[in-house]
């Protein structure tokens, strides 16, 4: 599978989709999120958190770059927007290979530091409430994950 494209028609649908993906995640998984401001990267992350059983409120870690949440698996939420143009090394490696799941908003800004194997998620604005989510797997693990997500998609809806 090269990629999986799913459209959502409300914030709730995006949340549900992310929640479903969360159920398939394992320690050491890395997801990257791309999309303009307001595309839904943080909304998607909120769904992941919910699906991982995280009770705390997840919001954009604008000033903190990395936030860690405890759930079924730990969630490492990064928003690297502020790192544009800097080559600061915040020890990302440790998170990518940690016990938890890492999700990176604006990941292309730290492209060289990303692991080779990962699930890239691109969110495109299609309308006020419409979003197109494209899941691009890099590596076998993530191809499997996309297939699982697709399976759930066609049976749940």
Residues forming contacts to ligand ADP in the complex (CB under 6 A) are: 8, 10-11, 13-14, 35, 37-43, 60, 129, 131
Question: Does the protein bind Mg ion through residue 131 (CB under 5 A)?
Answer: no
Give me the least distance between CB of 40 and ligand ADP, in Å please: 3
Reported as type and span, the H/E element at residue 132 is strand 131-138
| Residue 40 interacting entry, from ligand ADP, Mg ion, none, C-beta within 5 to 8 Å by type | ligand ADP
* Beta strands across the sheet bearing 30-34: 4-8, 131-138, 118-125, 30-34, 101-105, 75-79, 66-69
* Spatial CB neighbours of 6, under 8 Å, sequence gap ≥ 6: 17, 132, 133, 135, 153
Give me the least distance between CB of 131 and ligand ADP, in Å please: 4
β-bridge pairing 66-69 and 75-79: antiparallel
Give me the least distance between CB of 67 and ligand ADP, in Å please: 14
Answer for which of 8, 42, 43, 102 binds Mg ion (CB under 5 A) is: 42
């Amino acid at each position: 599978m090269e990629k999986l494209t799913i459209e959502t028609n409300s914030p709730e649908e995006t949340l549900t989709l992310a929640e479903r993906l969360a159920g398939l995640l394992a320690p050491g998984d890395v997801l990257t999120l791309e999309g303009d401001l307001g595309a839904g990267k943080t909304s998607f992350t909120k769904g992941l958190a919910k699906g991982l059983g995280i009770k705390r409120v997840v919001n954009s870690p604008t000033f903190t770059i990395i936030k860690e949440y405890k759930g079924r698996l730990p969630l490492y939420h990064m928003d690297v927007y502020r790192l544009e143009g800097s080559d600061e090394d915040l020890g990302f490696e440790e998170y990518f290979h940690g016990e938890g799941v890492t999700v990176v908003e604006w990941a292309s800004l730290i492209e060289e530091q990303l692991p080779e194997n990962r699930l890239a998620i691109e969110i495109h604005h299609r309308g006020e409430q419409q979003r197109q989510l494209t899941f691009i797997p890099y590596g076998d693990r993530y191809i499997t994950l996309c297939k699982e997500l697709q399976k759930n998609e066609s049976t749940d809806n």
